[in-house]
Structure 1
Amino acid sequence: MNGKHFFTKLIVVLIIVLFYHDSGFGQDGKSVRERIDSLQTLLQSRQSDSLSIFMNLTDSYNNLQNDSASIYINKSLSLLNIIGPDNRKFYEVLTQKHLFFVQKYAMDSIKNVNTKRLSIANEIEDDRLIFDCFSDIAAANVILRKFDSAGYFFDKAKLIIPKIKDKGSIASYYINLGMFNAEKGDFDPAIKDYINALEIFESLNDTISLATIYNSIGVLFWNTSEMEKVIDYLEKSLQYSKVIGNEGLICTNLYNLGSCYLELNNTKKSATYLNEALVYANKLNLDYIKADIYNNLGAITVLEKKDYAMAIVYNKTALEIYKQTGDEKRYIATLQSLSRNYLHKGNYEKSKDIIDSAIVLSSEKQIIEEKPDLYKLLSEIDSIQGDYLSSLTNYKQSIRIMDSLEKVKRRDKIKQLQVKFETSEKEKEITTLNSENKIKELQITRQRYQNYILWAILGMSTIGIGSIFFQYRIKKRNNKLLSIKNEEIEEKNQILLDKSAQLEKALGEKEVLLKEVHHRVKNNLQLVTSILNLQADRLNDKKIEAFVERSQSRITSMALVHQILYSNDKIEQIDFHKYLLKLVKAGYDSFDFNDQKIKYNIDAEEFFFHIDTAIPVGIIVNELVNNAFKYAFKGKETGILTIKVYRESEKIAILIKDDGIGISVKETNEESSSYGLKLVDLLVRQVNGEMIVNQNNGTSIKVLFEPLKV
């Protein structure tokens, strides 16, 4: 797809503008405006309760994301300074101020306000207020990407949850925790956090919060490639946002839906949503959305009409907005889209000049994560111009930077683990010290009681004293022997702990090394694919080109396995469901179905396969799926390919079925004329499996095999 889409860039903005609602919230836009008119009338007629009116007006304007909220916040603070200290009211006004700054994305101001809020909450000694502050401070640190600090405050908030009865506060905590997991790339836990919050808001019938959280959950499902759920949640959010009259959220939903349909290549629906979103963005001066809309409209003109000139106009309009707003990262990404459009238009020199300037800018601004794509595009331009040496050099530079970024990510993860380990060790040390102090206190108490007994015995006869003294000596000797034994046990325990730490360190180093190997293998497979691609550009033989494309597809299926391995914590097993989603999507995206409405459906149980099973089974699925996409739907307007993975008795079954004219095969034995099916047959034998073909109502192929034990 031409150009970059900025859907997921809105994640933090959507999540952070949330859930600080008082009783004035949860109404639709019309009700809020009527409430504002009523409060303004009341303010003119009475002065005795001006603070309450100011605060209610602030809530109402914050609900509409209107700058007038700031005016009434300042009036509330001024009035509080006049009428005298009221910490609880002061805290409430600062919370309103916090929400206002959140909507403006003013991070420095958010930090200062939260410092004051926490100080007041501690003075009042109110657990709910302290809990809210910890949650909000953690969220602010997430936006600043200070994950260690965020985790610290989330942990402090978690300790207070059992004391919190306010459901809204707990929902806000789950929202912020979901943002934390999403920003770290842990989307499944993030979705669970948001579903927890959603259930609370449904029980509270909080319409405004429901409108926003449906949008946020839709964004999260985008990251897991579950597009039907994305559309479902975004449409629910759009419906609620129209009910409450929040035009900013309406604009965001329209834009996200447009981006979603663009990702699905439904350009007509995408253009409809994006143009409607543009009307709201212009009305509300939402520059960050407006520029993204222009970029996506440029992508649509390329997909529908190959109108690169118009796409260039859209890109340049977006660039002007990013320049004014200072969004350097998106500015560089748009330069890449602009360069690609000039490349397709045949203006290679202009394309190269733009990409060179983007590389220089990314170096100056230290925006390293965009560089791999920039060098890949530069490699593509050099290849088209016949400068294969420069093309290969730039491609290698792209790979080097990607490697460097991966190392930084791994180093950061190791650092996080190290911080957790050190924190855990300190907690153990504190626990040990506390235990030792308790032992000492018990020993002191015991000694005190012994002294009391001794003083009482002094009044007894000399014989009694001698007898007790003798018993005391025996007890002292036994205590000494017990102390010596305890020291020996502690020494042995320490030796065992040291050996355990050494083994854990060695195991960690082995896992890092294995991940590095898988990462290198994946990069080498990508390099082979690129070399094949460069060679294919110089060939005119369609058969050889087709052979090269199929070879690239097979290599990609193997590379995906290694990519998942080095990205996961489990280095010896593959989440086959996740692998299948990426593999089939890659195959689907490689075909141009023109006006055909061809879909696929994946229904797979959760299995984890050993790498020696995952690679041959992945190539089998890749061959059968690509063969179906290529041949099964010729001459048909619609079609669906179904892929199922399930357990059948003691074996795993993979069923691939189409409702088309059938896969072009004659036999599935060794005499088959199809090289792809020969390869499938060979790999099925390799995994000790069998293949069953049925050609009624289309073609279905079922592969049964026993996976290696993980």
Structure 2
Amino acid sequence: MMGSSINAMRRIWRFFIAFLLLTSVSAIAQNDRFDDLRQQFKTAPTDSLRLVFLDELSYSFVRENFDSSVYYAGLQKALAQAAHDSVMLAYAYKNYGRAFEEQGEMDSAIRYIEKALSVEKASHNESGMAGSYHNLGLVYDRLGNMNVAMEYYLNALEIKEKLGNPLALSSTVNAIGFVYKAQDQHQKSLEQFQKALDLLIEGEGSDNRIRGAYNNIGLAYMNLKKYDSARSYYRRSVAGIKEDDNLRGFGAFYNNMGVTYDENLQFDSALYYYTQSLRVKSRSGDKYGMSSTNHNLAVNYRRGGFPDKAIAHERASIALAKQYKFLELRMKSTDGLRESFAATNQIDSAYFYTLVWKELSDSLQRIERGETVMQLEAKYESEKKDKELALNQVTLAQQQSSLRSEARLRYLLLGGLALLTVFLVYAYRSERVKSKSNNLLQLKNQEIEEKSLELARSLGEKEALLKEIHHRVKNNLQVISSILNMQSRSTANPEMISAIQEGQSRVKAMALIHQKLYQTEKLSEIDFREYAEELVEHLSTVFSPNGQNGIVNKVAGSNIKLDIDLAIPLGLILNELISNAYKYAFEGKPEGEISVELTRTADGQLQLAVDDNGNGLPQDFSIDNVKSLGLKLVNILTRQLNGQLSFHSVKGAHFSIVLHEDRLTT
């Protein structure tokens, strides 16, 4: 009941805020909504009102601007702690979680939602607990871990059924329907979606939510291969509204209509709807939807006999899925890329993506096995303790029996043989001395064991601290990147914007190194090839946001690991050379190729080569006289590493950096 009262109070505050906004609508345009909220926050007379406005600001910016959402969530958290407001403190943590989830930072999202859940449990806020369980289910759902997602959804469902709010209950029932869909239990999925619609109608839910329920029922019918019924429900989901009124809804509508035609082998109709879906999802910023529709377009081209056209769409899907950690989508698109390369007789590429798909599949299985392994370990430890207790009891009984036998024997011998008594006394004293020595030895061993445990704990704490340092450095670099992004929006000078974007790219190159360091078990070094692949993928996304240009990236090289002092300058060098290739090498060319190779030569030297097949370098090009900051930086960093920089221009630009590094390991 407490959770229901809290939600009712929050709805009253939201209504009050809406009323205040409506009273000033004649002076403030609709697109000034955020400025109006900020002003209302600044002039609010009480901390309670300020907390409500901060909650609205953070929640509103979740999809608009990550930095602003996190900023207002931080203010909300600080004020809630000062005011001892546990409800608003939990909402602040949830806003953090939503912001990080939207960025694809799922580990951070989980951490903050769990903090919210902890606050709600301590204050017995059942309504809030149900919301946090539901949000955790959504995050694990996106990670592809359906078993854990279902567990959290069922926890939320149990509380919501007790509270009796049909609208809140419908959202969790709907989410369970998607879990059944992912497990190919489509009849159960349809039943859950229909139940969610009934709850929405019972609770007089909004038109948008009811339209979403129609869309989900259509999805279930499509999976049951009842395509006419599916299209009927899809059309009901968008009936009577315009595209601009619900971009995300229309993005899903176009995509789902495309799938129904695809399954009927009507590829032209499917292609039309997929193209419309990608257009709308790009406008709405729906990253998951863009990744999914790109994959559907690729499937459409392969089934229609054009596997070469499918490759670009699968790459675009993978780029988004990798950036935002959509593991299942990344697996599907990787398998699709393998199939496309095989169909176009590019056997080496097909084999490479087969290996990548297997690694992703193993990762997903490890995630799904995680909870089961923990349960088995707990059961094993419990059984182990029970066996040890039983064994100790048997040993104690044996020892007591042995002592009684010894006592009887001693009394018998004392009564009959005095000489033997003297001998036994002597033997007893010798045993005491031996026992004392053994006890001292055991104490020494115990001290050694305790010191070893203390050293192990200390080492673990230092490793955890070092990981946290790398994580915070990465986060601080991301903050710098966000500040540069905000700065770029305050100027209209193209040169200034370009310079700021170059700075952001360099910051991202360094942040990626710190991210790799805290994600690896060995904190002192990173796998440079893996780092180079992620950096190239990032730059490809930056210079071709839709992932549909004709430039192909290749990263090759042996298994070379570098420490941070060498990885950062080499990462910056690689960033500049690839950025220059994207900006200048392919002007006037519809397609091209950029290759990166890091190898170790026979004489122990390290060689980084960056090549492209573009327009090549100017005839009067000189690395010592360049005006470009990027190439100046390449030259300076190479000298700092005591390396040798060379270049030539035959069928494109070719840069080579050779240096000797004793710290290099393989």
- TM-score interval for Structure 1 and Structure 2 normalised by the shorter chain: 0.3 to 0.5
Q: Provide TM-score, normalisation by structure 2.
A: 0.47
Higher relative contact order, structure no. (Cα contacts within 8 Å, ≥ 6 residues apart): 1
Q: Provide TM-score, normalisation by structure 1.
A: 0.45
